[in-house]
Amino acid sequence: MKRRDFVGLTGLATGALFLPTVPGLGGNPVDPARLLIAADPAVNKRLADAALNAAKAAGATYTDVRIGRYLNQSIFTREKQVQNIASGESFGAGVRVIANGTWGFAATNTVTEAGLAKAAQLAVQIAKANSKVQKEQVKLAPQQGYGTVSWKTPIQQNAFEVPVKQKVELLLAANAKALENGASFVNSSLFQINEQKYFASTDGSYIDQDVHRIWPTLSVTAIDKASGKFRSRDAMSAPMGLGYEYLTPKAADKIPGPAGSDVIGYKNSYDILEDAAAAAKHARAKLTAKSVVPGKYDLVLDPNHLGLTIHESVGHPTELDRVLGYEANYAGTSFATQEWKAKNIPFGSKQVNIVADKLQPGSLGAVGYDDEGVKTKQWDLIKEGKLVDYQKIRDQAHIVGQKESDGCCYADSWSSVQFQRMPNVSLQPGKEKMSVDEMVSKVDKGIFIAGRGSYSIDQQRYNFQFGGQVFYAIDKGKITGMLEDVAYQANTQEFWNSCAGSCDQSDYRLFGSFFDGKGQPSQVSAVSHGSATTRFNGVNVINTARKIG
Amino acid sequence: MAILSQDESQAILKKVLSFSTSDECEATLSGSNGGNVRSARNAISTSGAADDVSLAVEARFGKRSGVATCNEFDDATLRRCVQRAEEIAKLAPESPEYMPLLGAQTYIAAPKSFAASTAGITPDFRATQIGKTMKICDEKKVTSAAFLNDEAGFVAKRNNKGLEAYQQYTNLSFSITVRTPDGTGSGYATGDYNDAAGFDAGTLTQVAADKAAMSRNAKAIEPGKYTVILEPAALVANTDASLLAALMNALDARNADEGRSFLSKKGGGNRKGEKLFDERVTIYSDPTNAEIASLTFAGDGRPQKKMTWIEKGVVKNLYTSRFWAQKAGIPDIPRPGGWIMEGGTQSVQDMIKGTAKGILVTRLWYIRPVDPQTLLYTGLTRDGTFYIENGKIKHPVKNFRFNESPIIMLNNLEAIGKPVRVNGNLVPPLKIRDFTFTSLSDAV
C-alpha cells in the first residue's frame, strides 16, 4: 500500500479525535504512515551493542537490552458514529543489568548509541545504589545464546495494513445490526497491537520478534424507559494472537451452545455482525429474565466464560513470583505454596489437567522467545488434579531447585522492566466424546453460563465470586429460560474438585485476557485460556439484585 | 530534556503553531522523569528509571481534524509533524460532535503541584528509603513487600485561538505490606505526596508491621450485615478500583441522561438536585488545595476550579464533555483531577472508641462492578481486619467478601473521621452500619 493511500483512509477516523479521548492502550498518537516501516535489525544490533559495552565498562556482570517499537491502534464507535481512533507508537529502549549482584534498569526514548550507553550507565548506577542495602545476590539460571534469530506471529493479514475505513465500516455495520435488533445503545471497538521487539544480551542472543494481537469487541445496552431498568450484553469474541483474518467468519468456527440457549461460540474466526444481533436480543431478554433463586446448582460453563475462571483461580496462583511473595504488596500471594504442593493435596478432581503453553497457535501469549532471551515451551501445571509445577523465570528457577526458566518473562513496553507473567494456561478437553447437549442432558438442576462478567478473587486465590454475560436455567436436562442476577461464589480448591468433566476437543476454544494487570508499576499483558464446555457440581449461586431507592 | 520550563515549552509550541496553515491548531507538549524501587522478601526485586517527552499536534479545517506526534524537536521534524496533522485533517470526514478549540482561558494560580525535593530524587534516596523498611522488618522478624515510585513532569498547551497553559507536577507514592513469618498476619500502609519532604518510609513501615502483628491468628465470624469502620485506604485505593472512586466515576452527565446510570431517572432525565445520600456527605474538588495540588486545566484546556459534586447528600453537579453540555444545555464542567470528602476531626482510633460492636477494615481488594443499575460492587477485605467490641479491638477476624453499593453505604453513615490524602484525594475514614459481607475468605 502506498503511504498516501494509507493516510487518506486513516483520515476518516481521525476526524473524531477531538471528541473526548476514550482510554486506549497508552502510547502517543502516531503518524499512520510510520506504522508500516519496519525497523532495521542491523541498526538495532549496533545500538544494542552500545548498551552492552557501556554497561560492561561501568561494571555490569550481565546486561540485556530491549529496543521496542510498540504500535497500537484502537477504534471506538457508538451507534452510527466513530467515537475515537487512537493510533499510537511508543519507541525506545530499556537496559537491564546486574551489577554488584543486584538488578538495575533504565529506559530512554533517546534511541541513539549515546542514548543507550547513557541508559546503561544509569542502570548500573541504580544497581550499585541498591546493592548497598541488598543481602542476597541475584542468581540467574544459565541460558545459552542463540545468536541472530527471529520469530513472528503466524498471521495471514496484518491488521495495521487494513484500511481504517474498512475497519470502521465493519464496526458501524455491527452497531447497525445491534440497533436493528432492539439495542438502545451500542459501543464497539477494535484493538490491534504490534510489538516489534529486538532483544540482545551478554549471553550472545540477538532476537528479533514481531508480535501481533487483535480484539474486536462490543457492548450492547437495552433500556426500558418506563421502569428505568437497563441491561447490557458484551461480545462473545475472544482477543487472539491473530491478524485481521480473525474478522472473516467461517462457518466451521461457529460452535452452538446448548439447545434452547441461542448462544453461539467462536473458535478461530469471529462473526461480529451475528454476535451484535444476538447481543441486542440477549440484552432485551435480560430486561425480563427471571431473577435466580439462590442455592446450589450444577454449573455448565462455556469456554468464553470458563477462560477467566481458569485465569484467576489457576493461572495466577501458580505464578511462582506470587507464591514466593514478590506480589504481596499488590496482586497478592498464593495458597499454592511449595509447602502446600509438597502435601500432595488435590487442586482439583482427576478430570482436571491444565497445561502452560507459550507456543499455542492463535493464542495471545505465543512468542518464540521471552523478554530475557529464553526459548518458549509447553509444560504441565496440574496433572489429574495434582499441582505438579509453577511458572518461572531465570532468577527464580534455583529457588524451587530447577535449572532452567519456563520462558515467562515479559514487559509491556520498552520503558517497563520485564518480570514473570502468565503463559497461556488451558484446561485440556475431555478424552471421551461428549457434546454440550449431552452434558446438559445429564444435569438435573443447573445453570449454563456464557461470557465474561464481574470477576473478583481474594489475594491468595481462595474465595471468588464470578458472574457472566448470559445465564440459562437447566431443569431436568433441558434449558428452560434465561436468568439474571446470577453470581457464583466458591473456594478455588472446592470448585476444581467439583469438576465433573469437559466436552471433547471439538468444543475446545480459546478465551483471552487482553489487559491482565500485575506488578508495580503496574503492567498489562495478554494471555489465552483454552477449554471445552465443562461441568462443575453443587456450586453456590447467589442473587445479586439490590435496591437503591 | 524531560522537564522543560514554561519559556522553553512555549517557545517550541509557538514555533509549531507558526508552521500551521490550518483553521485551528493546537499543540501539547508533555514529559516526565521518574524512578522506582520495589522490594519483596526484605530484598530489592526490581528498580528502574525512565524519561520521555512528546509533542502532539492537532490541525483542523472546518469540522475536520488530524493529529500527529513526534518526539524530536528540530525545526524540520516539527514542520513535518504539523504538515502530517494537516494532511490527515484535509482527508478526514466532518465530525458530528465537532466543538471549536477553546480560546484564551483564565486559569487559577498554579498550586504547589511541583516540589524540587521530589524532582531531585536520586537512586541513592530510593535505596536508602527502601533499605530503611527492610531493616525495620528484619529487626521485627517480619517480611515486607513495598513499592516506592516518584515522578516529575510537565504539561504545556498552546493553540492559535489564544489558549496557553503550562504546569509542572511531582508525585511520590509508597505502599508496603508486611507479613508475619507464620503466614497468619498481614498489615498494610500507604502514602502519597507532591513534596517528598513529607515522606518517611520508616513511619509507614511501622504502621504496617504493627497491623501485621495484630492480625495474626484471625478468628472466623459469620458473614452478614455489620457496622464497619473503613479506613481511608479501604475507600480509595491506588492499586485497584474502589468504592468512593466508583461513585465519583459515575457522575457523568451523558450516561445519566441516556438512561444507563444509577443517576438516570425513570422516564428520562437525570437525578441531579436529588438528595441521594446522608446529609453529612459533601464531596468537592479544588486543584489549589495544598494537600492534593493538581493540574489547573483539563486535557482539553478547560479550566479546573473548585467544584461541589455532592453537598449535604444532594447531587449538585455532573461532569460532561463540551459537546454534551452544549447539546443538553447544561453546565460545561470537566472531570476533576482529585477530590475531597469533607469529614470531622475524629481519628480512626477515636472512631473505634465510639463503637460498641463492629469491624475495622484496613484495605479492600479486587473490587469489581456487579450491577451498574445499583452501582453494586463486590470485593474483599485484606491486610488487617479486626473485630471491635466496647470501644476496643478485640481480635483479628478472617477476611470477608462484600457485596455493597456506595450509594447504600453513604445512606448508612454513622460517623465521618478526619480526611487524609489517598491517591491524590482527601478521604475520611467512615463508619457505616449494615455493610453487607456475603462470605468468608481464608486468604491472609
* Mutation for B interface: A31, A339, A461, most B CBs within 10 A: A31
Q: Quick check: B418 pLDDT over 90? A: yes
Task: Flag if A326 and B88 touch (Cβ within 8 Å).
Answer: no
Radius of gyration (C-alpha) of chain A in whole angstroms: 24
* Residue A438 · residue A430 · CB < 8 Å: no
Interface of A with B in 366-405 (CB under 8 A): none
Percent of chain B beyond pLDDT 70?
A: 100
Report pLDDT for B95. 84
d(CA A527, CA A420): 13
Q: Which residues on B lie below 8 Å from A19 (Cβ)?
A: 95, 97, 321, 323
CA atoms within 13 A on the CB side of A453: 26
Q: A with B: how many residue pairs have Cβ under 8 Å apart?
A: 296
pLDDT higher than threshold 90 for residue B219? yes
Average pLDDT for chain A = 92
Q: Do the Cβ atoms of A127 and A97 come closer than 8 Å? A: yes
Distance between CA B415 and CA B360 in Å, rounded? 13
pLDDT band at A12 (very low <50, low <70, confident <90, very high): very low
Whose grid coordinates read 447481543?
A279
- Closest residue on chain A to B375 (Cα): A548
Q: Which residues of A touch B149 (CB under 8 A)?
A: 520-521
The angle at the Cα of A78, spanning A174 to B268, to the nearest 5 degrees, equals 120
Task: Write the pLDDT tens digit of every residue in B277-331.
Answer: 999 999 999 999 999 999 999 999 999 999 999 999 999 999 999 999 999 999 9
- Cross-chain residue pair B374–A548, CB shorter than 8 Å: yes
User: What mean pLDDT do residues A400-424 have?
Assistant: 96
Å between B289 CA and nearest CA of chain A: 26
pTM for the full model?
A: 0.93
Question: Backbone phi, then psi, for A258, in 5-degree steps?
Answer: -65, 150
Does the pLDDT at position A19 exceed 90? no
pLDDT at B268 over 80: yes
| CB contact (8 A) between residue B378 and residue A31 | no
Name the residue of chain A whose CA is nearest to B83's CA.
Answer: A31
Quick check: A130 and B44 CB within 8 A? yes
C-beta atoms of B49 and A105 within 8 A: yes
- pLDDT of A97 above 90: yes
What single letter denotes the amino acid at residue B290?
A: A
Shortest CB distance from B147 goes to which of A91, A487, A520?
A: A520
pLDDT of A130 higher than 90 = yes
Query: Does the pLDDT value for residue A3 go beyond 70?
Result: no
What's the whole-number mean pLDDT along residues B240-254?
Answer: 93
Residue A200, pLDDT above cutoff 60: yes
Nearest CA in chain A to B29: A28
CA distance B328 to chain A (A): 16
Q: Would you state the pLDDT for residue A36?
A: 54
pLDDT at B146 over 50: yes
Do residue A461 and residue B443 have CB atoms under 8 angstroms apart?
yes
Predicted local distance difference test score (pLDDT) of residue A11:
27
Find the distance separating the first CA and the last CA of chain B, reported in whole Å. 45
Query: Is pLDDT of A433 > 60?
Result: yes
Nearest CA in chain A to B189: A329
Which triple of cell numbers denotes residue A318?
A: 501458580
Residue A34: per-residue pLDDT: 54
Name the band, by pLDDT with cuts 50, 70 and 90, for residue A35. Answer: low
Whether A329 and chain B come into contact, CB under 8 Å, resolves to: yes
Residue B240, pLDDT score: 78
Residue A395 above 50 pLDDT? yes
For the segment B17-72, what is each residue's pLDDT rounded down to a tens digit? 999 999 999 999 999 999 999 999 889 999 998 888 889 999 999 998 888 888 77
Using a CB-CB cut-off of 8 Å, the residues of chain A touching B35 are: 126
Q: How confident is the prediction for chain B on average, in pLDDT?
A: 95
- The confidence score (pLDDT) of residue A27 equals 43
Nearest in space to B244 (alpha carbons), one of B235, B254, B253, B232: B235
Average pLDDT over residues A89-118: 94
* pLDDT at position A37: 62
Mean pLDDT of B73-86: 88
Residue in A18, A225, A462 closest to B259 by CB: A225
**A344-372: pLDDT as tens digits:** 999 999 999 999 999 999 999 999 999 99
pLDDT at residue A32 is higher than 60 = no
pLDDT at A334: 98
pLDDT digits (tens, 9 = 90+) for A477-536: 999 999 999 999 999 999 999 999 999 999 999 999 999 999 999 999 999 999 999 999
The pLDDT-based confidence of B84 (bands split at 50, 70, 90) is confident
Residue B1 is predicted with a pLDDT of 57
pLDDT tens per residue across span A279-320? 999 999 999 999 999 999 999 999 999 999 999 999 999 999
Residue A18 banded pLDDT, cuts 50, 70, 90: very low
The arithmetic mean of pLDDT across residues B106-114, rounded, is 91
Residues B129, B318: Cα–Cα separation, whole Å: 41
Average pLDDT estimate for B228-256: 93
**DSSP type of residue A253:** G
Asked if residue A38 has pLDDT above 80, the reply is no
- Of the residues B23, B67, B139, the best mutation for testing chain A's interface (the one with the most A CB atoms within 10 Å of its CB) is B67
Q: Please give the pLDDT value at position B194.
A: 95
The string of pLDDT tens digits covering residues A367-391 is 999 999 999 999 999 999 999 999 9
pLDDT at A33: 52
Inspect the interface and report whether the beta carbons of B48 and A16 lie closer than 8 Å: no
Q: For residue range A57-68, list pLDDT tens digits in order.
A: 999 999 999 999
Where is pLDDT greater, at B48 or A245?
A: A245
Residues 6+ apart with CB under 8 A from B392: B352, B353
Whether A454 and chain B come into contact, CB under 8 Å, resolves to: yes
Q: Does any CB of chain B come closer than 8 Å to the CB of residue A114?
A: no
Asked if A21 reaches chain B (Cβ–Cβ under 8 Å), the answer is: yes
pLDDT category of residue B374 using cuts at 50, 70 and 90? very high
Residues of B in contact with A232 (CB under 8 A): 260, 372
pLDDT for the residue A547? 85
Q: Within 13 Å, how many C-alpha atoms sit on residue B251's CB side?
A: 26
**Cβ neighbours of A21 in B, within 8 Å:** 299
For residue A248, how many other CB atoms are within 10 A of its CB? 12
